[in-house]
């Protein structure tokens, strides 16, 4: 366990001195700040029943597309390109510790950036003085969804980085994995809607794996245990595949 925390500290230190980390953070805050401002203006113009904080979290997919590749593309691919992954594997560490350190390093920074968006909610409450805009249930549910879905997205990026030695390829793969995860579930719903047969089981399965439906439920304050099981098991499975990829490619050198 001590070795894992040493690797994690080194990973966090490396992220703090990497320009791409700060570029990603800057882009995230600027883009999401303008998004929140537009949602607030739309709320005022149309007197919407949905709080801006709820609509804001439902756009989780927007930063996921560019944050995940930026955070994870260097994690293992760059180590393999430089040959340091093979050197690291000769020390008293194993591939599980390496992959977990890479995962938690990226995941913690991902959550820190999302945590900064709580300041948006505070500013809204400070100036509006309207408690109904900051209902605790939807806000807690929203950030719980960000936490569990973020684990899945970061695991997808780590797996993408474990499959190649090129940062560019890892970034493209990471984007593609996240995109497919979101799009397949979204269009699976459309397919079941057009299916006139009695496919109750299929609809239940699609609803169970549909990320956007989970976002809708959590941001409405409906917290269910099933998405936790889905995202946790999916994250573990993806990290297992990443460990296998690291061990397989390291053994060929």
Q: First-to-last CA distance in the chain?
A: 27
Q: What is the mean pLDDT of the chain?
A: 82
pLDDT(198) > 60: no
Domain total for the chain?
Answer: 1
Distance CA 227, CA 152 (A): 11
User: Would the pLDDT of 193 be above 70?
Assistant: no
Closest alpha carbon to 232 in 149, 110, 141, 146 = 149
**pLDDT band at residue 19 under the 50/70/90 scheme:** confident
Tokens 């099981």 identify what position? 229
Give backbone dihedrals phi and psi of 95, rounded to 5 degrees, phi first: -65, -30
Q: So what's the pLDDT on residue 221?
A: 79
Contact status, residue 157 vs residue 73, Cβ threshold 8 Å: yes
12/251 Cα distance (integer angstroms): 27
Ramachandran angles phi, psi of 48, nearest 5°: -65, 155
Single out the residue of 233, 24, 74, 223 nearest to residue 141, CA to CA: 223
Decide which of 201 and 53 is more confident: 53
Give the pLDDT mean for 214-229: 85
Evaluate whether 207 touches 213 at the Cβ level (below 8 Å): yes
Share of the chain above pLDDT 70, in %: 83
pLDDT tens digits, 60-93: 888 888 888 888 888 888 888 877 777 777 677 7
State pLDDT tens for residues 102-135: 999 999 999 999 999 888 877 777 776 666 667 7
Confidence of residue 207 (pLDDT cuts 50, 70, 90): low
pLDDT band at 213 (very low <50, low <70, confident <90, very high): confident
Residues 6+ apart with CB under 8 A from 243: 95, 96, 99, 162
Q: Is the pTM above the cut of 0.85? A: yes
CA distances from 186 to 176, 191, 241 (A): 15, 9, 25
| % of the chain at pLDDT higher than 90 | 24
pLDDT tens by residue, 31-49: 888 888 888 887 777 766 6
Q: Is 190 exposed, middle or buried (0-12, 13-18, 19+ CB in 10 A)?
A: exposed
Q: What are the φ and ψ backbone dihedral angles of 120, each rounded to 5 degrees? A: -60, -45
Burial 221-249 (b: 16+ CB within 10 A, else e): eeeeeebeebbeebbeebbebbbebbbeb
Model confidence pLDDT, tens digit, residues 151-190: 999 999 999 999 988 888 999 999 999 998 888 766 665 5
Phi, psi of 59 (to 5 degrees): -95, 25
User: CB 62: neighbour CB atoms within 10 A?
Assistant: 13
| Full domain range(s) for residue 85 | 2-251
| Residue-by-residue DSSP string for 31-76 | HHHHHHHHHHHHHHHHT-SS-HHHHHHTTTHHHHHHHHHHHHTTTT
């Amino acid at each position: 366990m001590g070795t894992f925390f040493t690797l994690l500290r080194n990973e966090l230190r490396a992220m703090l001195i990497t320009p791409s980390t700060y570029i990603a953070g800057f882009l995230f805050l600027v883009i999401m700040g303008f998004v929140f401002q537009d949602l607030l203006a739309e709320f005022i113009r149309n007197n919407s029943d949905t709080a801006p904080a709820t609509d804001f979290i439902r756009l989780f997919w927007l930063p996921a597309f560019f944050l995940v590749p930026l955070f994870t593309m260097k994690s293992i691919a760059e180590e393999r390109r430089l040959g340091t992954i093979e050197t690291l594997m000769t020390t008293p560490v194993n591939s599980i510790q390496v992959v977990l350190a890479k995962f938690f390093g990226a995941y913690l920074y991902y959550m820190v950036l999302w945590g900064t968006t709580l300041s948006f909610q505070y500013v809204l409450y400070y100036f509006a003085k309207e408690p109904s805009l900051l209902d605790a249930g939807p806000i807690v549910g929203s950030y719980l969804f960000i936490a569990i879905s973020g684990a899945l997205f970061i695991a997808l990026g780590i797996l993408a980085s474990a499959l190649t030695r090129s940062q560019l390829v890892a970034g493209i793969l990471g984007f593609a994995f996240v995109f497919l995860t979101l799009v397949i579930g979204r269009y699976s719903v459309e397919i079941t809607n057009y299916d006139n047969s009695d496919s109750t089981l299929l609809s239940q399965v699609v609803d169970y794996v549909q990320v956007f439906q989970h976002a809708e439920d959590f941001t409405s304050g409906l917290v269910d245990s099933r998405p936790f099981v889905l995202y946790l098991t999916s994250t573990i499975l993806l990290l297992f595949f990443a460990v296998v990829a690291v061990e397989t490619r390291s053994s060929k050198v």
